[in-house]
Homo-oligomer: A and B are copies of this chain.
Amino acid sequence: MSINCNKNAPVGVFDSGVGGLTVAREIMRQLPNENIVYFGDTARVPYGSKSRDTIIRYSRQIIRFLRTQEVKAIVIACNTASALALDVVRQESDIPVIGVIVPGARAAVHETANKKIGVIGTEATIRSEMYTKIMQEMDPEVSVIGKACPLFVPLVEEGFAKHRITEEVIDIYLRSMKESDIDTMILGCTHYPLLRSGIRTYMGEQVHIVNPAYETAMDLKELLLDRHIANDVPREDHAAYTFYVSDAADKFKQFANSILPYDIETTKQINIEEY
């Protein structure tokens, strides 16, 4: 497939499901001219408990699908896929592919004063230690505490984000981190910004919370400008946003409309296993 140099071509964004919409939302805010094709792998969600080989296979299929949509760049909005698959799929790709880990890591390293940083994420993300490796490459003096919080995603998906149960689960997972002296914490899973207020209240105001979505959109902007592929045509209406999922398009659309600044008109379902 040839490299797409058309500035008007969309940016591809993908995630294991709905969580990556928090990244798409930031791109819509910061890059209002960019068209977006979003893919959520709702038929195989979640990724956080699965193996590296499987996450790489799924990411390759999704990238093959996004290439059929003639995207000019790809954002892996999922922390798990960014941690386990980005290195491999980027090498295979002739268009730029970025993940959420490097931008989140850079923001945290920039933010910390005492060089003690906490990272929370899925089991696979934390086990990969990718945030730790990248932050210590940026600043070898940084020390990192990682904690997998596997119940956070189902709690968010079940609508328990503000529930007393979730406060207790936050206490169970984050107590050791609260008792440590970290001054910065990375929300290393795209679902976690939806628990931000509970986590902030629990951790206290002295801990700076980093949401990699914001930094990822900034990185994407810089990348598109550097390569001269940013969409610089001013628009009257918002850009074109297209949504694909591998299962349950209606449920996805409902969730998306609750968190995006624009209403999604349609979400199309595709069989991702065919790619």
Seen from chain A, the residues whose Cβ lies within 8 Å of a Cβ on chain B are 42-45, 49-51, 53-54, 57, 150-151, 154-155, 157-158, 160, 165, 168-169, 172, 246-248, 271, 273
Contacts and interface: CB of A to CB of B under 8 A. Distances in A.
Given A53-B247, A150-B154, A165-B165, 20 more contacts: A43-B44, A43-B50, A43-B54, A45-B49, A49-B157, A49-B248, A50-B247, A50-B248, A51-B247, A51-B248, A54-B248, A150-B157, A150-B158, A151-B155, A151-B160, A165-B168, A165-B169, A165-B172, A168-B168, A273-B273
Number of copies: 2
Contacts of A160: 151
Contacts of A169: 165
A267 B140 CA distance: 40
In the A-B complex, the 5 residue pairs with the closest CB atoms: A154-B154, A273-B273, A54-B247, A51-B248, A44-B44
Nearest to A41: B44
Nearest to A249: B51
26 contacts: A43-B50, A43-B54, A44-B44, A45-B49, A49-B248, A50-B247, A50-B248, A51-B247, A51-B248, A53-B247, A54-B246, A54-B247, A54-B248, A57-B271, A150-B154, A150-B157, A151-B151, A151-B154, A151-B155, A151-B160, A154-B154, A165-B165, A165-B168, A165-B169, A165-B172, A273-B273
A172 B248 CA distance: 27
A238 to B, nearest CB: 29
Contact of A42 (B45, B50, B150): B50
Nearest to A46: B46
A140 B163 CA distance: 39
A165 B164 CA distance: 10
